[in-house]
Amino acid sequence: MQEARTARALPLDDLKRIVGERNVLWRAEDVMLYEYDGLSAHATPAAVVFPSTTAEVSKVVALAVRTGLPVVARGAGTGLSGGAVLTEDGLVLGFSRMNKILEIDLENQRARVQPGVVNLDLSLAVSDAGYYYAPDPSSQKACTLGGNVAENAGGPHTLASGVTTNHVLGLEAVLADGSVVHTGSACWDHPGYDLTGLLTGSEGTLAIVTEITVRLCRKPEAVKTLLAIYDAVPDATRTVASITARGITPAALEMMDGFTLRAVEEATHAGYPMDSAAVLLIELEGLSEVVDEEAGHIECACLENHAREVRRARSAEERDLLWRGRKNAFGALGRVTPNYYVQDGVIPRTRLPEIMEFMEDVGRRYRLRLGNIFHAGDGNLHPLLLYDKRDPDQCRRVTQASAEIIARCVELGGSITGEHGVGIEKNELMPLLFSEDDLALMRRVKAIFNPEGRLNPGKLLPTGKMCGELRVQASAGG
C-alpha cells in the first residue's frame, strides 16, 4: 500500500502511542478523503489523527512542535474557504471522535460540548425541553460546532440573534506549545480580556478548540414564515430596506433570484413559484400578538414594493418545506452545472439594488451565468458563478469576475466575507479591508499564540504566495 509522502519525518509510532493505532491514518488511500473541504482545494495530509480527549490533542500538538509538523484542525470538512486544507506537509487533527455533549444546563440556558458535535444535534438534544441553539448554517446537519467557532459561522436565522460569537461563552483550547487554556466562563461578563471573542473566528491559527460552552435560547412562542413573490429583482431588494426602515428585525430574511429558485424547486419541490424573478423568505419569531402585527406590516412593505403575492405558511410542515428548499439550494444548483464558485461578500443592505445590478453586468461581461441566494437582511451575499473547471478559459473568467464582485462589495462599505471565513480563499484579499499597520498588528497577535506558525499555516493573513487563479480554481464547488 502506498503511503502519503511528507518532506518531514513522520512520527507514526509516537502518534499511535498517543491516540491508538486505529486512530491514525497515513496510507494514501485513507488520507485522500481529508485532502479538501467544501472549497475543493486539494492537499494531501502526511497523516490524519483522531484524538478522543483534550489530553491527547495536547500531546499530539506538543509532538508536532518537536518534529516541526504543521497541524490543521478539522471538523466535518464543510467549510467553504479552505480552512481545513493543509498548505504544507503536516497533520490533520480530526475531531469526529470528540463529539459528545458534555453537559446541558437548561436552568441557566447553557451547554458544554466537544468540538465534533454536529450543529443540529445540539438543537435536537434540547428541543423537547423547549430550547435550541441559534446559529444555523445551511450545512447545520453536517457542520460541527468546533468548525463553527473557527469560522464564526452564521446562518439564515442569525439576523436577529447574532452569529456564533454571540452564543459562545467560554472555550477550552490547546495552544501551539501543547498547553491547555480556558477562556470565558458560563457566566455573563467574565472579567479580563475577551480571549473567547479573539479565538472565535480565528480559523485555527491561534489555538485548537477542544471544548465549547454555548448559550441556548428558548423556542419562541410563535413563528410565522412568509414568502413574498416578485416579478422584478429590484423590487425584492428594495423591500429589504423598507422592512428594516419600519423598525422590524425578522429572525430571517433571505432572497433567491428566479434562476436559483427554479433550480431549487425542481430539486426539492418546496413550493416556490417557477415563473417569478425573485422571492423573499421572511420569518418572524416572538410573542403571538407581536408576530401577527409585524407580519401585517411586512406584508404591506412587500406589496408597496410591488410584490405580486405574499404567502404565509399555513402549517409547520409547509414552513419546514420552504426552509428545506432554502437550505438545500447549493446542492440543487449542483444539478445544473459541473462546478460553481460560491462568493461570500457583504454590503450594507441599503446597497442591495446597486450590487445586484453590478453582478448582472459582471455576468454579461464575463459570459457567466450567476445564481443569487443570500442573507438579504444583513447584506451577506452568496452569488454562485456557474462554470466548468475543466475549461481554463472559464476558470480565468470566474477568477476575474469574482475579484470584481468582492472589490465592489468593499467599495460599497462592505467586507470580503460574512460567514465563510478567509482561509486560503481570500487571505490575499485582506489588504482590500486592512492597512499594513492593521495587518502587522494581527501578525503580532498571531505570533504570541502561534510563534512558529505551526497551527493552520497559510490561512487568514496574506502570504503573498497564492495567485488569484489558484485561489478560485481551488474554490470550485461541485
Please indicate whether the domains covering 222-332 and 337-477 agree at the CATH topology level: yes
What's the pTM? Answer: 0.93
Phi, psi of 407 (to 5 degrees): -60, -40
3-class DSSP state for residue 174?
Answer: strand
- The architecture CATH gives domain 337-477: 2-Layer Sandwich (3.30)
* Whether CATH 3.90.480.20 fits 101-218: no
Q: For domain 12-94, give its CATH number from 3.20.20.70, 2.40.70.10, 3.30.43.10, 3.40.190.10.
A: 3.30.43.10
DSSP β-bridge partners for residue 101: 113
Give the pLDDT score at 8: 58
Q: For domain 222-332, give its CATH number from 3.30.70.2190, 3.40.47.10, 3.40.50.11540, 1.10.443.10.
A: 3.30.70.2190
What does the alpha-carbon distance between residue 101 and residue 116 come to, in Å, rounded to a whole number?
A: 9
Rounded-to-5 percentages of helix, strand, coil across the chain:
40, 20, 40
Give the pLDDT score at 465: 64
**Cell numbers placing 40:** 475543493
What does the alpha-carbon distance between residue 449 and residue 206 come to, in Å, rounded to a whole number?
A: 5
Per-residue pLDDT in tens (0 to 9) along the chain, 478 residues: 444 444 457 999 999 999 999 999 999 999 999 998 988 678 999 999 999 999 999 999 999 999 999 999 999 999 999 999 999 999 999 999 999 999 999 999 999 999 999 999 999 999 999 999 999 999 999 999 999 999 999 999 989 999 999 999 999 999 999 999 999 987 777 789 999 999 999 999 999 999 999 999 999 999 999 999 999 999 999 999 999 899 999 999 999 999 999 999 999 999 999 999 999 999 999 999 999 999 999 999 999 999 999 999 999 999 999 999 999 998 899 899 999 999 999 999 999 999 999 999 999 999 999 999 999 999 999 999 999 999 999 999 999 999 999 999 999 999 999 999 999 999 999 999 999 999 999 999 999 999 999 999 999 999 986 544 434 443 433 3
3-class DSSP state for residue 415?
Answer: strand
**Ordered DSSP codes for 227-285:** EEEESSHHHHHHHHHHHHHTT---SEEEEEEHHHHHHHHHHH-----TT-SEEEEEEEE
DSSP single-letter state for residue 190: -
Q: How far is CA 445 from the centre of its chain?
A: 23
The domain segmentation of the chain, as residue ranges, is 12-94, 101-218, 222-332, 337-477
**Cell numbers placing 447:** 505570533
Order of strands, sheet of 369-374, starting from the edge strand that comes earlier in the sequence: 309-312, 222-230, 278-286, 252-257, 369-374, 383-387, 339-342, 476-477
